[in-house]
Amino acid sequence: MRVSALTVLVLGVATMAAAQTTAHWEYRGKDGPLAWGKLAPAYKACSQGHEQSPIDIRGAHLNKALQPIEFHYRAGAVTLENNGHTVVVHVAPGSYIVANGVRYELQQFHFHHPSEETVKGKFSDMVIHLMHKSADGQLAVIAVRLNEDRGDPNATLAALWQHLPATAGATDQVTDAVNPGGLLPADRGYWNYMGSLTAPPCTEGVHWFVFEQELSISRAQLNAFAAIFKMNARPLQDTHGRRIEANE
Ligand SMILES: [Zn+2]
């Protein structure tokens, strides 16, 4: 079923945003990543920031003071939206994490093909970014890398993949409850660094938590996403000497 109320809301927000300082952008061509910083004044951080994401993860320092992330995700109905850049999965309120003493509410999660972040120069086939916000406006992203292999197919991905909206602006609702916790690897060891949103406006001050363990994705699932988004990953950014830490 098409969710007309959500569509109206999304169009409303898009219209409001257009009145502010947003601009059309792409992953390729004249409105591609190298131009983002010039497309709108609000996108300046994309070209002038020194804390941009994604980055290549290497040389992490072990920091035993980093605590395991507490996940308090709950199952609920979700709506998938193709926003022209990715498929965004909108979740019901109530899911949150606690990361190093700060509570962040899960707002949405989405996918990139291939992965944006690399580990010692190696890309994964895809990545999930779970976007969270604290009460005082701090952003935290959990990144779960997906690798095509012969491992067990992920049931949560399989449920979502039946509802991937193929065209920009389209939405689809999953009425069976989906628990985003089904998208987390068994081993919760992570790398942590300070970065940014990986799409305009490239806002900085984002707490990144990249899981060390990858999840499996099947060839068929990979092909299904690639048929919609052949490439929706921002190129790697300079670390400018940023420190990367590992919690285990
Ligand atoms: Zn992302």
| 129 Cα to the center of ligand 1, angstroms | 5
CA Rg, the chain, in Å? 17
Task: Please check the confidence at residue 10 and state whether its pLDDT lies above 80.
Answer: no
Residue 95 CA to residue 104 CA, distance in Å, equals 9
Q: Do the beta carbons of residue 72 and residue 96 sit within 8 Å?
A: yes
Pairing of strands 118-119, 96-99: unpaired
Q: Do the beta carbons of residue 142 and residue 211 sit within 8 Å?
A: yes
| 115 Cα to the center of ligand 1, angstroms | 9
Task: Kindly report, residue by residue over 76-87, the tens digit of the pLDDT.
Answer: 999 999 999 999
Nearest to 85 by CA among 26, 144, 40, 145: 26
Task: Please check the confidence at residue 15 and state whether its pLDDT lies above 80.
Answer: no
Average pLDDT for the chain = 93
At 121 the pLDDT is 98
Q: With bands split at pLDDT 50, 70 and 90, how would you rate the model's confidence at 61?
A: very high
**Fold exhibited by the domain 4-238:** Carbonic Anhydrase II (3.10.200)
| 16 Cα to the center of ligand 1, angstroms | 22
At 150 the pLDDT is 82
| 230 Cα to the center of ligand 1, angstroms | 15
State the amino acid at position 7 in one-letter form.
Answer: T
At 83 the pLDDT is 98
Residues within 5 A (CB) of ion ligand 1: 129
| 198 Cα to the center of ligand 1, angstroms | 6
Task: Kindly report, residue by residue over 201-221, the tens digit of the pLDDT.
Answer: 999 999 999 999 999 999 999
Q: What is the 3-state secondary structure of the chain?
A: CCCHHHHHHHHHHHHHHHHCCCCCCCCCHHHCCCCHHHHCHHHCHHHHCCCCCCCEECCCEECCCCCCCEEECCCEEEEEEECCCCEEEEECCCCEEEECCEEEEEEEEEEECCCCCEECCECCCEEEEEEEEECCCCEEEEEEEEEECCCCCCHHHHHHHCCCCCCCCCEEEEEEEECHHHHCCCCCCEEEEEEECCCCCCCEEEEEEEECCCEEECHHHHHHHHHHCCCCCCCCCCCCCCCCEECC
At 17 the pLDDT is 47
| 145 Cα to the center of ligand 1, angstroms | 11
Residue 160's φ and ψ, nearest 5 degrees, are -70, -40
Q: Average the pLDDT over 21-45 and give the result.
A: 96
Q: Is the dihedral of CA 17, 19, 20, 24 positive or negative?
A: positive
Q: With bands split at pLDDT 50, 70 and 90, how would you rate the model's confidence at 16?
A: very low
Omega of the bond prior to 180 within 30 degrees of 0, cis? no
| 111 Cα to the center of ligand 1, angstroms | 6
Q: Which residues are catalytic?
A: 85
Structure tokens at 159: 């449920």
| 128 Cα to the center of ligand 1, angstroms | 7
Q: Is the dihedral of CA 13, 16, 18, 22 positive or negative?
A: negative
The domain spans of the chain are: 4-238
Structure tokens at 71: 């996940």
At 20 the pLDDT is 54
Pairing of strands 190-196, 102-112: unpaired
Q: Do the beta carbons of residue 203 and residue 140 sit within 8 Å?
A: no
At 149 the pLDDT is 87
| 130 Cα to the center of ligand 1, angstroms | 8
